[in-house]
Amino acid sequence: MDAELKERARGEIIKARGLVALTGAGISAESGVPTFRGREGLWRSYSPEELATPEAFARNPTLIWEWYQWRRSLIDKVSPNAGHRALAHLEEVAADFILITQNVDGLHQLAGSRNVLELHGNIWRSRCTGCGRIEEGRKVDIKIPPRCQECNQLLRPAVVWFGESLNTIFLDRAIQASRECDLMLVTGTSGVVQPAASLPFMAKEAGAVIIEVNPDLTPITPIADLSLRGGAAQILPEICG
Ligand code: NAD
Ligand code: ZN
């Protein structure tokens, strides 16, 4: 990787006052959490697009909970990597910093990030399909499908599935931060899941510098001022320190 490119990225990050980091599944890949679109994305023979939908849950809640229990047990065993830690460090030194993540694994918070907007929810949270009550807890071995203690209706993972709307308060905050920042650091996202994928375009339109860190090209690459091809755990510590 071009050392000069990394030096330029570092310079832009140091210079920026308002910073937004936008992350996706790829930042947790090196911790051992499979991405949705990577080779290890499949569970049994299902793709995430077949499982992470309200229709799939309505059809077979036990199957969907089995998949979530598998993902929870994976996430329970892993730790944040150097990429997560570099973003936590950046929050310490930046004047104004917000981390917008599509991840549901909670690894950013474990790494020390505090100002985190979890656009798609958190895998350790459940919501009652009857009364809407939220249940929190890092529980791996639960009886599935779990039911609400209050109304006995099914609980579902409190995450945003394909075809569902995001929490509007979170989305509005993410849009506002994207329009107001000087620099957006985009890492580990394929840039195809909306509306998160539009945030870099909003930032760019409002004049922010866009830096992308990803081993692959994405739809965000053409608008990136600096595009660093490689893994987040290696590159982020070099440009955020
Ligand atoms: P995605 O699976 O669509 O794409 C992952 C991206 O990460 C790809 O562009 C890939 O090239 C890149 N990548 C792979 N390894 C990387 C690395 N070491 N460093 C940096 N980038 C790397 O992920 P997405 O864009 O986040 O969208 C999928 C949806 O899946 C999101 O809604 C998210 O909630 C959910 N998801 C979350 C997790 C998690 O919480 N860890 C895991 C899988 C999926
Ligand atoms: Zn209930």
pLDDT digits (tens, 9 = 90+) for 149-206: 999 999 999 999 999 999 999 999 999 999 999 999 999 999 999 999 999 999 999 9
Least confident of 33-37, 74-78, 80-84, 101-105: 33-37
- Regarding the beta carbon of 193 and ligand 1, being less than 6 Å apart is answered yes
Q: Does residue 1 surpass a pLDDT of 70? A: no
The pLDDT mean for the chain works out to: 95
Selected residue with higher pLDDT from 48 and 212: 212
For residue 38, the ligand 1 atom closest to its alpha carbon is 2
* Rounded-to-integer distance, Cα 64 and Cα 51, Å: 6
Question: Stretch 75-91: mean pLDDT, rounded?
Answer: 97
Q: Ligand 1, from 28, 33, 35, 116: best to mutate by most atoms within 8 Å of Cβ? A: 35
- Regarding the beta carbon of 196 and ligand 1, being less than 6 Å apart is answered no
Q: What are phi and psi of 130, to 5 degrees?
A: -95, -65
Asked if omega into 54 is within 30° of 0 (cis), the reply is no
H/E stretch holding 22 reads strand 18-23
* Rounded-to-integer distance, Cα 72 and Cα 33, Å: 10
Ligand nearest to the CA of 151: 2
Q: Look up 120 and say whether it is catalytic.
A: yes
For residue 207, the tally of other CB atoms under 10 A from its CB is 9
